[in-house]
């Protein structure tokens, strides 16, 4: 593929294209962003501008692509996911490319998924939107209304209030959480959805491979955390006190919302948390965890048919 510089050089050297090049030069120099750059650097020589018409042309084209962005996958820029920036170095016009916000988000998502394998967003959850949620009973209508309210008003770091969706297997709790996550993404708020039983097992293995602290910190500090299927894990004192308790305590102090799905209501979850693999019952420690959940998550019961059947 012929470079922009080569194309413009041919235009310069051809009488046929001379007028066309002149019009192109005028378009480049009347571009608002380029005009602002020149005005912000009044010491730029006219000859330097003239020598760099091709570079300014490239900047304008690539920047226009960014303004009409339709997503990272369809990025037409020469460096996919990178946006141009003009700068001056030793009185010479230079052009560099920086990763755009979509590129940065994609890289962070890959980093998280590589680090935490139990972080999962199935295809049907990726497609979840509030517009496509069934509203076939009163409990689902209420749950969706509460989910919409959270997704459109949540302010991590200011308010740590979340939601606790509970009900039988397959009633659509996780799908509603997916709609919340997608709506938050539209507001540039990061969400992590983890399948709780797998995540607890993965943290345990992280002690041996040295990734424990990094994985724990990632979940502790994400702006919005969704713990999916809480209560389905095999409970132990270590899981309850050193993982779940540590995560919830940190998020409570930092006012970071935590959302939950569970087959258990609060009373049933408290009973589940009181048991340990050693066979003992530790009600006080269970109540301590539940106090953090009760105070910072509104319980919402969802009934209905099994949608996975």
pLDDT of 210-232, one tens digit each?
Answer: 888 988 999 999 999 999 999 98
Do the domain assignments include residue 106? no
| CATH number of the domain encompassing residue 131 | 3.40.50.300
Looking at the structure, do residues 128 and 272 belong to the same domain, yes or no?
Answer: yes
pLDDT confidence band for 244 (50 / 70 / 90): very high
Looking at the structure, do residues 188 and 229 belong to the same domain, yes or no?
Answer: yes
Of all residues in the chain, what percent carry a pLDDT higher than 70? 88
Segment 68-85 shows an average pLDDT of 86
Asked which of 54, 72, 100 is the last residue of a domain, the reply is 100
**Computed over its alpha carbons, how large is the radius of gyration of the chain?**
27
pLDDT confidence of residue 97: 93
Looking at the structure, do residues 41 and 153 belong to the same domain, yes or no?
Answer: no
Looking at the structure, do residues 181 and 59 belong to the same domain, yes or no?
Answer: no
pTM of the model: 0.67
pLDDT per position as a tens digit, 106-129: 888 777 666 554 466 677 777 788
Q: Using the structure block, give the residue that is written with the tokens 């607890």.
A: 200
pLDDT confidence band for 263 (50 / 70 / 90): very high
C-alpha–C-alpha distance, residues 56 and 302, integer Å:
57
What letter does residue 84 receive in the DSSP assignment? E
Do the domain assignments include residue 309? no
Do the domain assignments include residue 306? no
Segment 288-309 shows an average pLDDT of 87
Which structural domain range is residue 293 located in? 116-301
pLDDT confidence band for 4 (50 / 70 / 90): low
Q: Which residues of 205-236 are buried (b: 16+ CB within 10 A; e: fewer)?
A: ebeeeebbeebbebbbebbbbbbbbbbbbebb
| Terminal-residue alpha carbon distance, the chain | 53
Looking at the structure, do residues 95 and 210 belong to the same domain, yes or no?
Answer: no
Q: Which residues contact 212 (CB under 8 A, 6 or more apart)?
A: 203, 206
pLDDT per position as a tens digit, 170-200: 888 998 998 898 888 888 888 888 899 888 8
Residue 178, strand partner residues = none
Do the domain assignments include residue 80? yes
Segment 23-43 shows an average pLDDT of 88
Token duo for residue 200: 């607890």
pLDDT confidence of residue 13: 58
Segment 158-173 shows an average pLDDT of 91
Segment 98-111 shows an average pLDDT of 85
pLDDT confidence of residue 52: 87
For residue 155, pLDDT over 70 is answered with yes
Q: Which residues contact 251 (CB under 8 A, 6 or more apart)?
A: 160, 220, 225, 257, 258
Looking at the structure, do residues 77 and 209 belong to the same domain, yes or no?
Answer: no
pLDDT confidence band for 295 (50 / 70 / 90): very high
Of all residues in the chain, what percent carry a pLDDT higher than 90? 39
CA dihedral 48, 49, 50, 53 (to 10 degrees): 130
- As a whole number of angstroms, the longest Cα–Cα distance in the chain is 91
C-alpha–C-alpha distance, residues 135 and 151, integer Å:
18
Number of CB atoms found within 10 A of residue 163's CB = 26
For residue 306, pLDDT over 80 is answered with no
For residue 12, pLDDT over 70 is answered with no
For residue 277, pLDDT over 80 is answered with no
pLDDT, greater one: 279 or 79: 79
Q: Which residues contact 46 (CB under 8 A, 6 or more apart)?
A: none
């Amino acid at each position: 593929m012929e470079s922009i510089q080569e194309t413009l050089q041919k235009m310069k050297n051809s009488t046929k294209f001379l007028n066309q090049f002149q019009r192109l030069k005028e378009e480049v120099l009347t571009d608002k962003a380029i005009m602002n750059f020149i005005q912000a650097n009044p010491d730029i020589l006219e000859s330097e501008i003239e020598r760099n018409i091709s570079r300014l042309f490239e900047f304008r084209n690539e920047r226009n692509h960014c303004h009409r962005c339709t997503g990272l996958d369809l990025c037409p820029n020469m460096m996919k996911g990178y946006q141009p920036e003009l700068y001056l170095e030793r009185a010479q016009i230079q052009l560099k490319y920086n990763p755009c916000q979509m590129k940065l988000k994609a890289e962070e998502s890959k980093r998280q998924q590589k680090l935490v394998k139990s972080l999962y967003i199935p295809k049907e959850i990726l497609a979840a939107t509030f517009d496509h949620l069934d509203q076939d009973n009163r409990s689902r209508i209420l749950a969706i209304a509460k989910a919409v309210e959270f997704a459109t008003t949540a302010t991590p770091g200011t308010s740590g209030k979340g939601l606790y969706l509970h009900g039988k297997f397959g009633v659509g709790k996780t799908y509603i959480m997916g709609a919340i996550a997608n709506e938050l993404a539209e507001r540039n708020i990061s969400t992590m959805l983890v399948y709780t039983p797998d995540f607890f097992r993965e943290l345990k293995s992280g002690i041996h491979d040295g990734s424990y602290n990094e994985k724990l910190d990632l979940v502790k500090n994400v702006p919005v955390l969704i713990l999916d299927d809480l209560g389905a894990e095999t409970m132990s004192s270590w899981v309850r006190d050193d993982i779940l308790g540590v995560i919830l305590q940190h998020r409570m102090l930092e006012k970071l919302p935590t959302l939950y799905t569970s087959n258990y209501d609060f009373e049933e979850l408290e009973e589940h948390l009181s048991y340990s693999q050693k066979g003992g019952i530790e009600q006080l420690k269970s109540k301590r965890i539940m106090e953090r959940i009760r105070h910072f998550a509104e319980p919402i019961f969802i009934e209905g048919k099994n949608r996975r059947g």
